[in-house]
Amino acid sequence: MNAVTSPEKGHRRDDSCSVPNVVMEAVCSERVAGMNTNVKGIGLVCPYCESHPAVVEDASSLVCPRCGRRYSEWNGKPCFLADDVGTVDSWREGYSKAVSAGSFKKALITLAQKLRAPKVKLRRLPHLDLLEALGKRGAFKALYIGHNQQFEDKLSRDIIQLNVVPLEYVDIVSMGEYVPFPDDSFDLVVMSQVIEHTQYPFKVVEECYRLLKPGGKLYVSTPWVYPFHGGDNYRFSNEGLRFLCYQFDDIKVGSLNGPFHALAVFLAYFVGEGLSFGNRYIRYLVGIVVSWLVFPLVVIDALTNRRRKKTYVLDANIYAIATKKGNEAPM
Ligand SMILES: C[S@@+](CC[C@H](N)C(=O)[O-])C[C@H]1O[C@@H](n2cnc3c(N)ncnc32)[C@H](O)[C@@H]1O
Ligand SMILES: [Zn+2]
């Protein structure tokens, strides 16, 4: 694994810089050496520059004339990862393993997922309410960080999905800490179960603040009472989420899943880990059985959690909706 580097300080805009902010439409509306740089109508900028970022065309890649960084594509998607800035090794390894897995293993994983108890959803996730409100208002732009979901056509025109690996439906590869879009570009930024996986969560949220238009909203959800899972670095309490969103106005915190859900997850991990003896195939099997055994707890949680507005000490997952200061009409 690469050595963990600290985030660059003050890498953002220097307003006195005389270099124009070359978010060049000409570049961004074309394919550069097979790379689609028209990321849904928002121009690309260099995410690492200490002054106005500018990305210009080169025969085979995008190059920043300020810092000299060169960006190419990964799996047909513009890729802005820079090894000297942060490491995404565990996600890169996971992605390579998943891509190169044999068809038997892939089929087994799909089957195991299908046989598990279903998720219980008695209410819509809050970020979908925010999207709906935006849709009613007219044209909008939303950025989903650490995401790869198929949205219906109407929505997907206005949603950009960014991830550190080029999964299906991802539009652009970059770290949430360094996002190659200009200031004030988005009405909504969503991070669902991602912030705990990042290296520098405060930096990620500062980046979200920069990217949002005045009046725009950030939705961030994260586990609280939850076992360690792959690539997992941090936990934030409801108070911690408020500190994380320190630049924002009007922060609302809520519960996604409560204590019974937490209990179900812990029981599943205890039994699954304890009885699988490190064998992947037994773990799949045990996982299916246990998911049904704890299912009543998940249902009780969904029923009791439905009307809860405030968070409790043992919530499994919590979220915050924070609004960027500004005069524009709030959602
Ligand atoms: C637990 S998954 C959540 C996926 C999805 N958002 C959801 O709610 O189901 C965490 C995701 O965060 C991505 N990720 C990890 N570190 C990241 C970073 N620094 N910036 C952006 N995304 C990151 C991973 O590739 C992975 O897709
Ligand atoms: Zn640069």
* Cα 19 to ligand 1 centroid, rounded to whole Å: 34
Alpha-carbon separation of residue 46 from 31, 71, 166, 198 (angstroms): 17, 9, 19, 20
Q: Please list the pLDDT of the chain residue by residue as tens digits (331 residues).
A: 344 444 544 344 333 333 333 333 334 445 555 566 678 888 788 888 754 555 666 666 788 878 888 888 898 888 999 877 777 888 888 898 888 888 888 888 889 889 999 988 888 899 999 999 998 888 899 999 999 999 988 888 899 999 999 999 999 999 999 999 989 999 999 999 999 999 999 999 999 999 999 999 999 999 999 999 888 999 999 999 999 999 999 999 999 999 999 999 999 888 888 888 888 788 888 889 999 999 999 999 999 887 666 667 899 999 999 999 886 655 5
Q: For the residues of 84-120, what is the DSSP string, one character each?
A: TT---HHHHHHHHHHHH--HHHHHHHHHHHHHSPPPP
- Could you tell me if 59 and 202 lie in one domain? no
* Cα 56 to ligand 1 centroid, rounded to whole Å: 29
Give me the pLDDT at residue 308, please.
66
* Cα 47 to ligand 2 centroid, rounded to whole Å: 6
Q: Considering the domain boundaries, does residue 30 fall inside one?
A: yes
- Could you tell me if 49 and 175 lie in one domain? no
* Cα 222 to ligand 1 centroid, rounded to whole Å: 11
Give the environment of ion ligand 2: residues with CB less than 5 A.
46, 48-49, 64, 66-67
- Give the whole-angstrom CA distance, residue 321 versus residue 307: 17
Q: Considering the domain boundaries, does residue 96 fall inside one?
A: no
Cβ-based burial of 21 (10 A; exposed 0-12, middle 13-18, buried ≥19): middle
Q: Is 253 helix (H, G, I), strand (E, B) or coil?
A: strand
Q: How many domains does the chain have?
A: 2
Closest CA to ligand 1's atom 26:
146
Q: Considering the domain boundaries, does residue 117 fall inside one?
A: no
Residues 6+ apart with CB under 8 A from 230: 90, 94
Which domain CATH number covers 195? 3.40.50.150
- Could you tell me if 144 and 218 lie in one domain? yes
Closest CA to ligand 1's atom 22:
146
Residue 168's CB is within 10 A of a number of other CB atoms, namely 9
Give me the pLDDT at residue 60, please.
67
- Could you tell me if 329 and 192 lie in one domain? yes
Q: Six-digit token pair at 265? A: 């997850």
Residue among 97, 194, 200, 229 to mutate when testing ligand 1 (max atoms within 8 A of CB)? 194
* Cα 233 to ligand 1 centroid, rounded to whole Å: 12
- Could you tell me if 166 and 64 lie in one domain? no
Q: Considering the domain boundaries, does residue 285 fall inside one?
A: no
Closest CA to ligand 1's atom 15:
197
- Could you tell me if 234 and 163 lie in one domain? yes
Helices (H), ranges, the chain = 25-28, 89-100, 103-115, 126-137, 153-156, 201-211, 238-244, 259-276, 280-293, 295-305
Residue among 197, 199, 226, 234 to mutate when testing ligand 1 (max atoms within 8 A of CB)? 197
- Give the whole-angstrom CA distance, residue 125 versus residue 319: 10
Looking at the CA of 49, which ligand is closest? 2
Q: Considering the domain boundaries, does residue 246 fall inside one?
A: yes
Give me the pLDDT at residue 59, please.
61
Looking at the CA of 46, which ligand is closest? 2
Closest CA to ligand 1's atom 11:
146
Q: Considering the domain boundaries, does residue 43 fall inside one?
A: yes
Residues 6+ apart with CB under 8 A from 27: 37, 43, 44, 55, 56, 57, 62
- Could you tell me if 148 and 242 lie in one domain? yes
* Cα 172 to ligand 1 centroid, rounded to whole Å: 13
Q: What angle do CA 92, 165, 98 make, to 5 degrees?
A: 60
- Could you tell me if 191 and 42 lie in one domain? no
Ligand 1 atom nearest residue 199's Cα:
19
- Could you tell me if 193 and 327 lie in one domain? yes
Q: Considering the domain boundaries, does residue 229 fall inside one?
A: yes
Burial 71-95 (b: 16+ CB within 10 A, else e): bbbbeebbbbbbeebbbbeebeeeb
- Could you tell me if 50 and 181 lie in one domain? no
Q: Considering the domain boundaries, does residue 113 fall inside one?
A: no
- Could you tell me if 79 and 175 lie in one domain? no
Domain that holds residue 194: 132-255+321-331
* Cα 16 to ligand 1 centroid, rounded to whole Å: 35
Please list every protein residue whose CB sits less than 6 Å from any atom of ligand 1: 91, 145-147, 163-165, 175-177, 192-194, 197-198
- Could you tell me if 330 and 219 lie in one domain? yes
Give me the pLDDT at residue 329, please.
56
